[in-house]
């Protein structure tokens, strides 16, 4: 990068990357001066430019670790599901069936349904991935994660769930699960991702939400009736895995040249 100085009175701009500075703005200390000045306070590590580098490093680390993962499905669901409950067993069964079909299982790496799906993936002899998130209360990665990456930023982590999976399976959950589900629906609705199957598991749990989408959002014109086709609803784990994998295969053949 070339930076040239001008007198603050001079009308020639000082350039800093793509930014041009004149007059009072041109007097700001140069980045390399700040870097080398031993008297500079450490506050810069809490500044936005520094954060941008940390954010960038999360993408670089994530892309690097997952680049060779192969086919994968992201499984979401409540962090609070207890082992031994029907929803937990559902998660284990889905993780196992995905693994047995040769597909890696990606979860948020936490407890509950995430742990269940990771556990199923290990039991099914597959690749078990956890994308952990730094939280104010220390949680740690569940013991069934074989390839774990920890993130500081939710948005960087969410990119990985979509970029390295070819579909989503969504178990019953709370705000975190809803956030992941609706982000995926928006990405498909706006064609940011194409032919991305989203399968909800748990008819009784999800039906009121789907009814609300149909009876309020569609009725009031907030979404189109076709948007309901973005999701599929099932109860049976075999059906869930079949549909998500079938959706992926359909997508593959859609994209194959004639």
Ligand X SMILES: C/C(=C\CNc1ncnc2c1ncn2[C@@H]1O[C@H](COP(=O)(O)O)[C@@H](O)[C@H]1O)CO
| Least distance (Å) between residue 52 CB and ligand X | 24
Identify the residue among 9, 47, 175, 258 touching ligand X (CB under 6 A). Answer: 175
3-class secondary-structure state, position 206: helix
Name the residue among 236, 190, 189, 199 with its Cα closest to residue 74.
Answer: 199
Give the Å distances, CA to CA, from 238 to 97, 147, 225, 243.
Answer: 7, 25, 27, 9
* Nearer residue to ligand X within complex by CB, 14 or 177: 177
**Which range in 27-35, 41-49, 73-81, 196-204 contacts ligand X by CB under 6 A?**
73-81
Q: What does each C-alpha distance from 53 to 57, 58, 104, 188 come to in angstroms?
A: 6, 9, 30, 29
Residue 114 is a binding residue for ligand X (CB under 6 A): yes
User: CB under 6 A: which stretch of 96-104, 117-125, 170-178, 191-199 binds ligand X?
Assistant: 170-178
Residue 80 touches ligand X, criterion: CB under 6 A: yes
Residue 164 has a CB neighbour count (10 Å cut-off) of 22
**Rg of the chain taking only CA atoms, in angstroms:** 23
Which of 173, 197, 202, 247 is the binder for ligand X (CB under 6 A)?
A: 173
For position 198 contacting ligand X by CB under 6 A, the verdict is no
CA 52 from centre of chain: 18
Closer Cβ to ligand X, 128 or 177, answer by number: 177
Does residue 91 bind ligand X (CB under 6 A)?
no
> Which chain residues interact with ligand X by CB under 6 A?
76-80, 108-111, 114, 132-133, 135, 139, 173-177, 180
């Amino acid at each position: 990068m070339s930076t040239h100085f001008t007198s603050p009175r001079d009308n020639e701009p000082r350039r800093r990357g793509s930014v041009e500075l004149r007059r009072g703005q041109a007097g700001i200390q140069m980045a390399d001066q700040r870097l080398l000045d031993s008297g500079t306070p450490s506050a810069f590590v809490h500044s936005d430019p520094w954060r941008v580098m940390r954010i960038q490093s999360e993408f670089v680390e994530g892309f690097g670790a997952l680049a060779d993962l192969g086919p994968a499905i992201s499984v979401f669901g409540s962090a609070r599901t207890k082992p031994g409950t029907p929803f937990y067993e559902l998660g284990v069964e889905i993780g196992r069936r995905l693994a047995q079909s040769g597909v890696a299982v990606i979860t948020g790496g936490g407890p509950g349904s995430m742990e269940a799906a990771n556990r199923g993936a290990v039991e099914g002899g597959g690749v078990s991935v956890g994308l952990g998130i730094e939280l104010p209360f220390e949680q740690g990665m569940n013991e069934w994660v074989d390839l774990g990456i920890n993130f500081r930023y939710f948005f960087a982590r969410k990119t990985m769930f979509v970029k390295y999976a070819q579909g989503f399976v969504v178990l019953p959950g709370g705000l975190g699960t809803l956030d992941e589900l609706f982000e995926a629906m928006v990405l498909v609705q706006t064609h940011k991702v194409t032919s991305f199957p989203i399968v909800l598991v748990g008819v009784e749990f999800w039906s009121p939400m789907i009814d609300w989408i149909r009876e309020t959002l569609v009725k009031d014109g907030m979404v189109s009736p076709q948007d309901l086709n973005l999701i599929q609803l099932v109860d049976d784990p075999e059906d869930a895995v079949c549909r998500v994998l079938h959706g992926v295969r359909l997508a593959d053949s859609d994209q194959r040249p004639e």
